Amino acid sequence: MVIKKEPTLYDQAREVLDSKIEEMGLRKTQERYRILEEIYKREDHFEIEDLFDSMLQQNFNVSKATVYNVVELLTEIGLVIRHNFGNKNAARYEKAFGRRQHSHIICTKCNKVVEFCDPRLLLIQNTVEKYSGITIKDHSLVFYGVCDNESCQKK
C-alpha cells in the first residue's frame, strides 16, 4: 500500500507558478523555483535584501536583479504580496497562496510586524459591501505603534 503525501503549500504554489509560466510563455528556470521555495519556507515579512542574503548564505548563486525580477513576477501572479508599511520602510513581502486574510501591527521603532486576525473585520466588510454596492475583493488594515520591547519603549 502506497501512502500518498499531501502536497505542501510550496507544492501547490509551484503548480500555480508552472501554470502561469506556461500561460505567459516564460521559461521554467531553476532560479524561479528556488526563490519561490525560499519564500514559502519563510514565516516572516521580508525585504528583498533579506531574501537575497538568505539565498547567498545557502550558496545559491543568484543575482540581486534576478531576485527582484522573480519576486515581482510572483507578486504579479498572486503568489506573493507586497506591503508598504509607511514611508520609512522599504517594501516588505510575504507568501500569499493559501494564507487567510489577516491584518498587521507595525512597531514604528524596530519595524517588528505582528499579524492578527479578527472575525469582526469580516462583519464590517460584509456591512460595507451591503451598503456600498461594491463587492470587496481584499482589504488592508495596519496599526502603527510601539512594541513592548524595552529598547523601543526608551526611544
Q: Which domains does the chain have, with CATH numbers?
A: 1-99 (1.10.10.10), 100-155 (3.30.1490.190)
Q: Is 117 annotated as a binding residue?
A: no
Rounded Cα gap, residues 153 and 109, in angstroms: 8
Do 84 and 91 form a contact (C-beta atoms < 8 A)?
yes
The model's pLDDT over 77-106, given as tens digits with 9 standing for 90+, comes to: 999 999 887 766 678 999 988 777 788 898
Q: Which of 107, 103, 96, 97 is nearest to 139 (CA)?
A: 103
pTM: 0.81
Q: Is 147 annotated as a binding residue?
A: yes
- 94 beta partners: 81
C-alpha cell at 88: 520609512
C-alpha cell at 54: 538568505
The model's pLDDT over 118-148, given as tens digits with 9 standing for 90+, comes to: 889 889 999 999 999 999 887 888 899 999 8
